[in-house]
């Protein structure tokens, strides 16, 4: 539900919220002249350069340059967006904000407020049961046995709900809330057997309250205490509040409000699976941990986390990431990898850390401590590398047939990813790991894409609903550039023809594009030798093309239109030539880098005499690398 403030409300709020009063809640301010000064909360400093001007109601730091009004201060301190910061300040100073509301949105606003109240009362009630009833003893013992201190249990406001059908509903109805409201809060369910009556959704469960980003209670996660209890039979180990007006498991993140400041300070967030994992990390001093409430992160959750940090580490326990690549981890990674586009758009850096065998994150940190946890997550691997390794782990790649099977499996995985940039990146990595040629793998990928039946089942996902892509869209971007180049050659690139001829076949990385390039070049060469004028589009003598794929490509080029007007051709030529050169240079750079690493490795176990020789080779490679990098840079600039 989108809300907007009435005109003038922000100014009205600012007149109620003195900047000195708000800022002094975070910074120790001392009077200096007509202003106040203190140590800047936005950068590290030893002498105060942070200043608050109460007459202008502004703050400014002479050290780092941060500055603004009370709202921007709270936005930054609490990592909130504008409206959230306004509401936060209003809450602090007790100002009642006025919203633009139609009759129905006013009703909705009121209903929302009642739902917050129900959740808040529930939270307090469940805590009361945990600490003050006989029934609370078993859950407390359970939590203590798992290693939690009373302080942690209290700080996460954990509670317990009775193993009865109407205990909570009875309590909340006595407080004046209607059946409908309790159902809408997600805490009660309407009976199908006895319509008109409601019963408790959560029974005999340890209750973990879930808060929104500013700390308001919006729902619960409940863990069953005794699987054999009367009311728990046939129900899941964990039950969450269903989707309500306040709670959505795809939009909310467990512990985000408590963790957000640490996430910003450490510029990193750990995503774990369970509520107790978050609690355990917190207890051990790792405060930048949250749990996603579904199986994988959603785009909304990514957006929220992206406000605090770009560095996300998924913490898997070893059972999930077992060496036999259990179904669960593959399933989990599928969800993540399918969203890679989304992550790349938000410039996120996602890594996966795996804990030692036999531990879940909670056990691991409570038994082994913060330092060994941090050492472990330091080894976290980029999610693409991790997925590739998991798949590789299924095969013996020292044996040729294992290698082929692994590459087939990997290419099927890659063909399910939607971004061609990521596909290219994966292919490069696989080529390195399996010691196979990149263009071979690209061709395989191309085949898989042309035969969707082959790749469709990789993740057992249902592709039936997806539209079939047109031929043109199926072509890799890299290949597209090569085809554009060939199109220009066939149709006449004007004065740039020589530049194309100079490139050479190695600039074309696919069998069919390379063969066509060679054929065009020899056709043009023949014409030149015989002093004949070249007629565009170039007609290739029939029979000169052997490969059916190449013939298809040539026909495709003859039939397709050149997009460029006469005036644009030169610019297009230049751009395409640049792109081809860049790819070629990148390949050479990769090759030189790899060679350099080999020499470095060889140097370690060789005699001094050999070392000199290797050093010289290394140096000359290094010179070449610098030259190539410079060339590549130059290409980038003269676009």
Of the candidate spans 43-51, 426-434, 506-514, 527-535, the one that interacts with Zn ion by CB under 5 A turns out to be 43-51
Looking at the Cβ atoms of 40 and 576, the one nearer to Zn ion is 40
The distance between the two most distant Cα atoms of the chain, rounded to a whole number of Å, is 104
Treating both helix axes as pointing N-terminal to C-terminal, what angle do 400-415 and 438-450 enclose, rounded to 10 degrees? 60
CB of 49 to Zn ion, least distance (A): 6
Looking at the Cβ atoms of 49 and 248, the one nearer to Zn ion is 49
Per CB under 5 A, 43 contacts Zn ion: yes
Q: Kindly give the residue spans of alpha helices, DSSP state H, lying in 5-102.
A: 9-16, 19-23, 70-78, 82-93
Pairing of strands 289-292, 311-316: unpaired
Per CB under 5 A, 40 contacts Zn ion: yes
Residue partners of 347: CB distance under 8 A and separation at least 6: 306, 310
Looking at the Cβ atoms of 62 and 556, the one nearer to Zn ion is 62
Beta bridge partners of 205: 161, 224
Per CB under 5 A, 61 contacts Zn ion: yes
Residue in 247, 460, 251 with CA at minimum distance from that of residue 335? 460
Looking at the Cβ atoms of 61 and 182, the one nearer to Zn ion is 61
Treating both helix axes as pointing N-terminal to C-terminal, what angle do 103-132 and 137-145 enclose, rounded to 10 degrees? 80
CB of 21 to Zn ion, least distance (A): 20
d(CA 319, CA 328): 9
CB of 43 to Zn ion, least distance (A): 4
Of the candidate spans 18-26, 55-63, 138-146, 435-443, the one that interacts with Zn ion by CB under 5 A turns out to be 55-63
Binding-site size, Zn ion (CB under 5 A): 6
Looking at the Cβ atoms of 52 and 628, the one nearer to Zn ion is 52
Per CB under 5 A, 26 contacts Zn ion: no
Contact 203, 231 (CB under 8 A): yes
Per CB under 5 A, 62 contacts Zn ion: no
Per CB under 5 A, 142 contacts Zn ion: no
Per CB under 5 A, 63 contacts Zn ion: yes
Of the candidate spans 39-47, 112-120, 286-294, 519-527, the one that interacts with Zn ion by CB under 5 A turns out to be 39-47
Of the candidate spans 37-45, 113-121, 158-166, 587-595, the one that interacts with Zn ion by CB under 5 A turns out to be 37-45
Q: Kindly give the residue spans of alpha helices, DSSP state H, lying in 157-241.
A: 167-174, 179-184
d(CA 217, CA 81): 19
Looking at the Cβ atoms of 66 and 338, the one nearer to Zn ion is 66
Of the candidate spans 14-22, 56-64, 315-323, 559-567, the one that interacts with Zn ion by CB under 5 A turns out to be 56-64
CB of 213 to Zn ion, least distance (A): 25
CB of 65 to Zn ion, least distance (A): 7
Per CB under 5 A, 340 contacts Zn ion: no
Looking at the Cβ atoms of 43 and 466, the one nearer to Zn ion is 43
Q: Which residue in the set 3, 12, 20, 42 belongs to the binding site for Zn ion (CB under 5 A)? A: 42
* Angle (nearest 5°) at CA 456 between 249 and 548: 145
Looking at the Cβ atoms of 40 and 426, the one nearer to Zn ion is 40
Of the candidate spans 32-40, 173-181, 373-381, 616-624, the one that interacts with Zn ion by CB under 5 A turns out to be 32-40
Per CB under 5 A, 278 contacts Zn ion: no
Looking at the Cβ atoms of 64 and 421, the one nearer to Zn ion is 64
CB of 324 to Zn ion, least distance (A): 52
d(CA 109, CA 112): 5
| Long-range interactions of 477-481: CB distance < 8 A, separation 24+ | 477/420, 477/421, 477/424, 478/424, 478/442, 478/509, 478/583, 479/442, 479/446, 479/509, 479/510, 479/513, 481/576, 481/579, 481/580, 481/583
* Angle (nearest 5°) at CA 32 between 31 and 38: 70
Residue 606 vs residues 522, 593, 599, 614: alpha-carbon distances, Å: 48, 20, 10, 9
Q: Is 285 left (phi over 0), alpha (psi -120 to 50) or beta?
A: left
Residue partners of 627: CB distance under 8 A and separation at least 6: none
Q: Which residue in the set 26, 64, 586, 636 belongs to the binding site for Zn ion (CB under 5 A)? A: 64
Looking at the Cβ atoms of 53 and 319, the one nearer to Zn ion is 53
Looking at the Cβ atoms of 48 and 221, the one nearer to Zn ion is 48
Quote the tokens at residue 356: 């030692």
Residue ranges binding Zn ion (CB under 5 A): 40, 42-43, 61, 63-64
């Amino acid at each position: 539900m989108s809300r907007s403030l009435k005109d003038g409300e922000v100014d009205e709020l600012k007149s109620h919220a003195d900047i000195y009063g708000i800022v002094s809640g975070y910074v120790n301010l001392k009077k200096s002249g007509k202003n106040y000064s203190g140590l800047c909360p936005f950068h590290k400093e030893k002498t105060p350069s942070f200043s608050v001007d109460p007459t202008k109601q502004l703050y400014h730091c002479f050290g780092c340059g941060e500055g603004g009004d009370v709202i921007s201060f709270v936005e930054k301190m609490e990592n909130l967006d504008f409206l959230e910061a306004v509401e936060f300040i209003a809450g602090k100073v007790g100002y009642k904000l006025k919203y633009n509301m139609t009759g129905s949105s006013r009703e909705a606003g009121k209903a929302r407020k009642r739902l917050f109240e129900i959740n808040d009362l529930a939270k307090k009630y469940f805590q009361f049961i945990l600490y003050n009833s006989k029934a609370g003893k078993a859950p407390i013992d359970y939590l203590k046995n798992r290693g939690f201190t009373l302080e942690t249990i209290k700080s996460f406001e954990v509670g317990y709900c009775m193993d009865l059908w109407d205990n909570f509903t009875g309590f909340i109805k006595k407080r004046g809330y209607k059946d409908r409201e309790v159902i809408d809060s997600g805490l009660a369910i309407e009976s199908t057997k006895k319509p008109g009556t409601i019963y408790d959704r959560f029974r005999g469960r340890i209750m973990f309250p879930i808060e929104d980003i500013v700390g308001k209670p919006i729902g619960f996660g409940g863990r069953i205490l005794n699987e054999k209890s009367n009311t728990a039979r046939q129900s899941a180990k964990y039950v969450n509040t269903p989707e309500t007006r306040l709670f959505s498991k795809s939009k909310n993140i467990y512990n985000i409000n408590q963790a957000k400041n640490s996430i910003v300070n450490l510029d990193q967030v750990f995503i774990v699976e369970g509520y107790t994992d978050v609690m355990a990390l917190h207890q051990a001093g790792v405060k930048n941990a949250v749990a996603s409430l579904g199986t994988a992160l959603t785009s909304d959750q990514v957006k929220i986390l992206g406000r605090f940090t770009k560095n996300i580490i998924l913490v898997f326990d070893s059972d999930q990431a077992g060496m036999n690549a259990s179904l669960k981890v593959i399933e989990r990674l599928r969800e993540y990898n399918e969203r890679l586009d989304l992550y790349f758009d938000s410039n996120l850096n996602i890594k996966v850390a795996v804990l030692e065998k036999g531990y879940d994150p909670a056990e691991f940190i409570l038994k082994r401590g913060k330092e060994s946890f941090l050492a472990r997550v330091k080894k976290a691997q980029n999610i693409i590398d991790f997925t590739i390794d998991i798949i590789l782990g299924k095969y013996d790649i020292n044996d040729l047939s294992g290698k082929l099977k692994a590459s087939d499996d990997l290419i099927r995985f890659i063909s399910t990813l939607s971004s061609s940039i990521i596909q290219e990146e994966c292919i490069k990595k696989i080529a390195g790991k399996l010691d196979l040629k990149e263009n071979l793998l690209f061709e395989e990928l191309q085949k898989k894409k042309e035969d969707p039946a082959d790749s469709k089942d990789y993740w057992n996902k249902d592709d039936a609903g997806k539209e079939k892509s047109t031929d043109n869209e199926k072509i890799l971007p890299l290949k597209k550039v090569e085809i554009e180049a060939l199109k220009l050659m066939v149709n006449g690139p004007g004065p740039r023809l020589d530049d194309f001829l100079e490139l050479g076949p190695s600039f074309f990385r696919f069998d069919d594009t390379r063969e066509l390039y060679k054929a065009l070049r020899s056709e043009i060469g023949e014409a030149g030798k015989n002093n004949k004028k070249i007629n565009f589009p170039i007609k290739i003598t029939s029979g000169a093309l052997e490969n059916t794929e190449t013939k298809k490509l040539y026909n495709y080029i003859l039939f397709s239109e050149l997009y460029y007007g006469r005036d644009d051709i030169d610019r297009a030529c230049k751009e395409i030539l640049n792109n081809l050169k860049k790819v070629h240079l990148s390949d050479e750079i990769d090759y030189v880098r790899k060679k350099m690493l080999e020499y470095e490795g060889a140097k370690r176990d060789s005699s001094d005499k050999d070392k000199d020789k290797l050093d010289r080779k290394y140096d000359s490679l290094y010179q070449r690398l610098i030259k190539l990098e410079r060339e590549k840079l130059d290409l980038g600039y003269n676009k």
